[in-house]
Structure 1
Amino acid sequence: MDLDAVRTFVTAAEAGQFQEAATELAVTQQAVSKRIAALERTLGVRLFTRTPRGAELTIDGQAFLPHARELLRVAERAVESVRIGSRPLRVDVLSSRGAASGLLRGFHRAHPEVELDVVMLFGIDTAIAAIRSGAIDASFRAVTVPGRPLPDDVESARVLDEPLQLLTGPGHVLAGARSVPMAGLAGHRIWMPGIVPGTEWAAYYDDLVAEFGLTIEATGPNFGADALLDTVADTPALATFMGGNTRLVWPTDHGLRRIPVTDPMPVYPHSLLWQRGNPHPALATLRTHLADTATAPNAPGTWTPDWTNPH
C-alpha cells in the first residue's frame, strides 16, 4: 500500500477539502485526487463523496480512517527505530567479568544519556563479521591474530593494557610472594581450560609460552570461572593467569592469592574495533571517552606479542 496515498487520505479527511489537503502537503489538487483514486482502486471501495462543502468520508472511508492513521504511526516508528542516534549503541564485550566490561561500565557512568545494548560474542572472527554486517557497532578485542589482519573497512584503537596476575591457592609454593618474575614461573603448572584454539587469547598465550618457556595446560572441560577458582584453591600444584582488571568473587575460605608478575610484566592488550564510516553519534562519544582514559601502550617493563602493537 502506498504510504503517500494513505497520508494524503488522512490529510484530506482531516481537512475536509482536497484543496486544503493539497496546500498542507505542498502538492497540487490534481495530485491529491490521483492519490486518493489510486488508494480507492487498491482497496476496492470509495473513500470520499464530493459535496458543495468539500469532501466527506463515506462509510468505508470512516472505517478505514483509524487504520490509516495507525499505518502512518507504525511507519514513523519503523523509521525512527533506525534513525541515526535513535537506537542503542550495540557493543560486544566478550564477557561480563572482564576488563572490557569494566571499560564500558566506566563509559556508561560518564555518559548515562547514551543508551547501550551490551552483547557477548565468541571469537574475533565472529565479532568482525558482526561489525561489518551492522549487527554491532563496536567490539573490544586483542588486535590482531597473526596471519589474519583486519579487513580494510574495520578500524581499531588500543584502549587498555591489562596486567596479568598469577592466581594461586593458599597451599601453592608461590602463595606468599609479593610478586613473581616471569623467569620464576618456569616449571610451574598454569591451568587455563578456557583457552580455545584459533581465538585471539589463544594466540596471545601461545606467544607467552614460546617467549618465556612456560607450561600452560588447557586440558579438561571448561566449567567456568567458579569451577576454575574452586580447583585452584584446592590444588597446591596449580595456578592460573588472571587479568588485573577482571572482577571475580570467591568464598573467603578459598584463600586465593592474586600475585603481580614482573620482569617483564605481561599485559593483555584491549582494543576497540569498529567499521569505518559507522554514523552512530554515540560511537564517536565512546571512542573519545576511551582515548581520554586509555593507558599508554607498550610501557617500559611490559610485554605483549609483536602482533598486538598499535596500528
Structure 2
Amino acid sequence: MDLDAVRTFVAAADAGQFQEAAAALSITQQAVSKRIATLEKDLEVRLFTRTARGARLTIDGQAFLPHARELLRVAERADASIRPGRRALRVDVVNRRTAPAVLLQDFHRAHPDIELDVVTLSLDAYVDAAIAAVEAGTIDATFRAVPPRQHVPDGIRTDHVINESHELLVGPRHPFANARAVAPAQLTGHRIWMPGLDDRGEVTDYYDELVAAFGLRIDVVGPVFGNETLLDEIADSADLATLVGESSRYLWPDSYDLRRIPIRNPTLIYPMSLIWRDDNPHPALNKFRDYLDSRRPDPTDAGVWMPTWDRRAV
C-alpha cells in the first residue's frame, strides 16, 4: 500500500477539504485527488463523498481511517528503529560482568538521554567474529584485544581504550588470603584455575605470553559449570586461585569469604580496544568515543606488564 496515499487520505480526512490537505502536505490539489483516487482503486471502495463544503468520509472511509493512522504510526516506528540518532546505540560488551560493561554503565549514568542496546556476542566470538559483526552492521561497536597480527578490514577503526589490571581471587585458606598485594613472581608454582580457557583467539595469545613471562601455572582442565561453581570450588580450597579483572563484578555468599588480591610489581594489564566502522553515522557513537577518550588509560603508567603486542600503549 502506498504510504504517501495513506498519508494524504488522513490529511484530507482531518482537514475535510482536499485544498487544505494539499496545503498541509505542500503538494497540489490535483496531486491530492490523484493519490486518493489511486488508493480508492487499490481498496476497491469510495473513501470520500464530495460535497459543497468539501469532502466527507464515506462509511468505508470512516472504517479505514483508524487503520490508516495505525499504518502511519507503524511506518514512523520502523523508520525510527533504523535511523541514526533515533535508534539505540548497539554495543557489544563481551560479558556483562567485565570492564567494558562497567564502562558502558558509567557512560549511561553520564548520558541518561542516550538510548543504549547492550549485547553480548557468543563467548566463542573472537576478535575476527566481532570485527565481522561491526563490518556487517549487526552492532555499532565492540571491545576486544587487537593483536598486531589481526587483520582489520578497510573502513574498520580500532582505538586502545581500556587497560584492565588483574587481581588474584582466592579463598580464606589460600596462602595469599591475607596478603595486601602479590607480585607475579610470587605466583610461580601456585595453581591458577581457569577452566574452559580456549586454545585459540586473542585471549589465549595473551595468557600464553603471560605464562611464558612469569612461569605461571594456569590450569584449564575440568568441565565448565559456570562462575558460581568456580567460586564455590575456590572458596572451599586451600590452593586454588583464579585471575579476575579489577573492574569485573562477581557476587558470592558472605560465607565464601573470598578475597580479591591486587597483583603489583608489575601490574598485569589486559589491553582492550573499541572497534567501530568508520562510516557509522550514529551521533551517540561519537559521544561514546569522546567519553572513552576522557577515560583513556594514562600512557605514562609505570610498573605494568602488557603483552609485547600492545606495549605501545604504555
Shared fold, TM over 0.5? yes
The aligned counterpart of 1:181 is 183
Distance in 1 separating the partners of 2:281 and 2:312: 24
The aligned counterpart of 1:286 is 288
Unaligned runs of 5+ in 1: none
* Deviation of 1:220 (Å): 0.7
Distance in 2 separating the partners of 1:174 and 1:191: 15
Distance in 2 separating the partners of 1:173 and 1:99: 27
The aligned counterpart of 1:110 is 110
Distance in 1 separating the partners of 2:223 and 2:300: 34
The aligned counterpart of 1:42 is 42
* Deviation of 1:267 (Å): 0.8
Note if contact 1:195-1:202 (Cα within 8 Å) is conserved in structure 2: yes
* Deviation of 1:208 (Å): 0.8
Unaligned runs of 5+ in 2: none
Distance in 1 separating the partners of 2:195 and 2:111: 36
The aligned counterpart of 1:32 is 32
Partner amino acid, structure 1, of 2:66? P
The aligned counterpart of 2:145 is 142
Query: Residue deviations 1:87-120, cap 9 Å, x none?
Result: 2222221222222221112112222222222112
CA RMSD of aligned residues (A): 2.3
* Deviation of 1:131 (Å): 1.9
Matched, 1:127 2:130: yes
The aligned counterpart of 1:152 is 154
Partner amino acid, structure 2, of 1:89? L
Partner amino acid, structure 1, of 2:55? A
Count of residue correspondences? 310
Distance in 1 separating the partners of 2:246 and 2:118: 22
* Deviation of 1:230 (Å): 1.8
Partner amino acid, structure 2, of 1:97? R
Note if contact 1:161-1:297 (Cα within 8 Å) is conserved in structure 2: no
* Deviation of 1:45 (Å): 1.7
* Residue 278 to residue 190, structure 1, CA distance change in 2 (3 Å): same
The aligned counterpart of 2:224 is 222
The aligned counterpart of 2:5 is 5
Distance in 2 separating the partners of 1:261 and 1:14: 70
Note if contact 2:195-2:224 (Cα within 8 Å) is conserved in structure 1: yes
The aligned counterpart of 2:94 is 94
Matched, 1:259 2:223: no
Distance in 1 separating the partners of 2:7 and 2:90: 33
% identical equivalent positions: 58
Note if contact 2:196-2:221 (Cα within 8 Å) is conserved in structure 1: no
Greater alpha carbon shift after TM alignment, 168-177 vs 230-239: 168-177
* Residue 77 to residue 174, structure 1, CA distance change in 2 (3 Å): closer
* Residue 293 to residue 49, structure 1, CA distance change in 2 (3 Å): same
* Residue 51 to residue 167, structure 1, CA distance change in 2 (3 Å): closer
Distance in 1 separating the partners of 2:70 and 2:254: 59
Distance in 1 separating the partners of 2:298 and 2:33: 67
Note if contact 1:139-1:272 (Cα within 8 Å) is conserved in structure 2: yes
Distance in 1 separating the partners of 2:232 and 2:28: 77
Query: Residue deviations 1:38-87, cap 9 Å, x none?
Result: 11211112223333333333332232222222222222222223232222
TM, length-normalised to structure 2: 0.89
TM, length-normalised to structure 1: 0.89
* Deviation of 1:176 (Å): 4.0
Distance in 2 separating the partners of 1:75 and 1:149: 39
Greater alpha carbon shift after TM alignment, 283-292 vs 165-174: 165-174
SS at match of 2:263: strand
SS at match of 2:174: coil
Partner amino acid, structure 1, of 2:156? V
Distance in 2 separating the partners of 1:46 and 1:250: 68
* Residue 241 to residue 298, structure 1, CA distance change in 2 (3 Å): farther
The aligned counterpart of 1:85 is 85
SS at match of 1:202: helix
Matched, 1:207 2:245: no
Greater alpha carbon shift after TM alignment, 123-132 vs 200-209: 123-132
SS at match of 2:108: helix
Partner amino acid, structure 2, of 1:21? A
Note if contact 1:91-1:136 (Cα within 8 Å) is conserved in structure 2: yes
Partner amino acid, structure 2, of 1:129? A
SS at match of 1:180: coil
SS at match of 2:38: helix
